Amino acid sequence: MIIVPVKEGENIERALKKFKRKFEKTGTVRELRSRKTFEKPSVKKRAQMMKAIYVQHMQLNEE
């Protein structure tokens, strides 16, 4: 359960923004979307490899 302490006099929009940020960090929505459809293990592995290659290229270009 996500708890967002609201200080007295604090704007409700700011508290809502904090809640949204905490909720996003939990990864609940991302997990629900990934569970929505079945993805073969080979496809998952290929996507991870492609992401790793992309990150490695980005790091090499940065240096």
pLDDT tens digits for range 10-35: 899 999 999 999 999 999 999 999 89
pLDDT of residue 63: 83
By the 8 A CB rule, do 4 and 15 touch?
yes
Confidence of residue 51 (pLDDT cuts 50, 70, 90): very high
Tell me the pTM.
Answer: 0.56
Residue 6's identity, in one-letter code, is: V
- The secondary structure of 1-62 as a DSSP string is -------TT--HHHHHHHHHHHHHHHTHHHHHHHHHS---HHHHHHHHHHHHHHHHHHHHHH
The residue ranges of every structural domain in the chain are 12-62
Sequence-distant (6+) residues with CB within 8 A of 26 are: 2
**Confidence check: pLDDT of 1 > 90:** no
Confidence of residue 46 (pLDDT cuts 50, 70, 90): very high
